[in-house]
């Protein structure tokens, strides 16, 4: 299985970075291949605007979705967007790793979803959720919180972690057709003892290896169906990328 780790934290000694390193190490040792999108390290720009495109659909009025569709049809995305779209197309398991800031993901990761998962490439009318373009891909979120698990209980200060992460798991991952697995959450990482952080890392690595093992047989027929369906917008490009990688 090929995994893409979406890593969103500016500090290489952070616990979020440790989750990223653990994901890469565990999956690689288990015989899988892994790419990392280090959004801060690679200087990914979170802001979507006309710089996203090398062509212009409407010079008089900027409508982001229309410009995305035009760029998809013309192969005219900016280089860093095209790079990230190719990484996502290759991935069978997508692993976003991030701290929970202000009840959600950091702005740089939200910007990745805004810019990379463009209309035409990632979704169009009639192809969302069960009919999404990325059926056959799996998504495993790894989140780090400052608050304790008690604060993220259903009757806690913030509400359940499922409720907090719902816009991410449902309106992003599942929206695209991915099978979103229950999120892994390392609660109160800055406040716990070193042995507790080590335990989190072991659990995380074991979870990813088991996820890759368990989902790999299930994805094969679905990927074949999707890759051969040239009628889906964006599908032909993803098929070419996948076929080129297999040569």
- Cα distances (angstroms) measured from residue 53 to each of 39, 103, 147, 238: 19, 31, 40, 19
pTM of the entire structure?
0.86
Tens of pLDDT, residue by residue over 160-214, are 999 999 999 999 999 999 999 999 999 999 999 999 999 999 999 999 999 999 8
Strand, coil or helix: what is 157?
A: coil
Tens of pLDDT, residue by residue over 53-77, are 999 999 999 999 999 999 999 999 9
Distance CA 237, CA 247 (A): 16
What phi, psi does 15 have (nearest 5°)?
-70, -30
Asked if residue 153 has pLDDT above 60, the reply is yes
Domains of the chain: 2-246 (3.40.50.360)
What phi, psi does 79 have (nearest 5°)?
-60, -40
Asked if residue 32 has pLDDT above 80, the reply is yes
Count CB atoms within 10 A of the CB of residue 234.
Answer: 21
- Cα distances (angstroms) measured from residue 48 to each of 85, 94, 117, 189: 15, 22, 11, 32
Nearest in space to 37 (alpha carbons), one of 90, 74, 1: 90
Output 217 or 60, whichever has higher pLDDT: 60
pLDDT, residue 28, reads 98
The helix or strand, by DSSP H or E, that contains position 240, with its residue range, turns out to be helix 235-246
Asked if residue 232 has pLDDT above 60, the reply is no
List beta partners, residue 5: 36, 95
Question: Is the four-CA dihedral 204, 210, 212, 214 of positive or negative sign?
Answer: negative
Query: Per-residue confidence at 128, pLDDT binned at 50, 70, 90?
Result: confident
Distance CA 2, CA 245 (A): 11
């Amino acid at each position: 299985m090929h995994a893409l780790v979406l890593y969103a934290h500016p500090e290489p000694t952070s616990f979020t970075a440790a989750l990223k390193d653990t994901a890469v190490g565990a999956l690689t040792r288990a015989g899988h291949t892994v790419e990392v999108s280090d959004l801060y390290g690679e200087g990914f720009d979170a802001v979507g605007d006309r710089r996203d495109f090398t062509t212009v659909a409407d010079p008089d009025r900027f409508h982001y979705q229309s410009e995305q569709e035009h760029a998809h049809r013309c192969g005219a995305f900016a280089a860093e967007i095209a790079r990230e779209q190719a990484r996502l197309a290759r991935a069978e398991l997508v692993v976003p790793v991030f701290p929970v800031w202000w009840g959600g993901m950091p702005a740089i990761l939200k910007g990745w979803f805004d810019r990379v998962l463009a209309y035409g490439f990632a979704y169009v009318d009639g192809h969302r959720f069960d009919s999404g373009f990325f059926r056959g891909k799996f998504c495993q979120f790894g989140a780090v919180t400052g608050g304790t698990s008690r604060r993220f209980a259903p009757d806690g200060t913030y509400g359940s972690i499922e409720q907090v992460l719902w816009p991410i798991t449902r309106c992003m991952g599942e929206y695209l057709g991915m099978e979103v697995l229950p999120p892994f959450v390392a609660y109160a990482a800055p406040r716990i003892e070193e042995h507790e952080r080590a335990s989190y890392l072991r659990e995380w690595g074991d979870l990813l290896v088991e996820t890759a093992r368990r989902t790999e047989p299930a994805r094969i027929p679905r990927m074949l169906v999707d890759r051969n369906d040239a009628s889906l917008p964006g599908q032909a490009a993803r098929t070419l990328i996948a076929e080129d990688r297999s040569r």
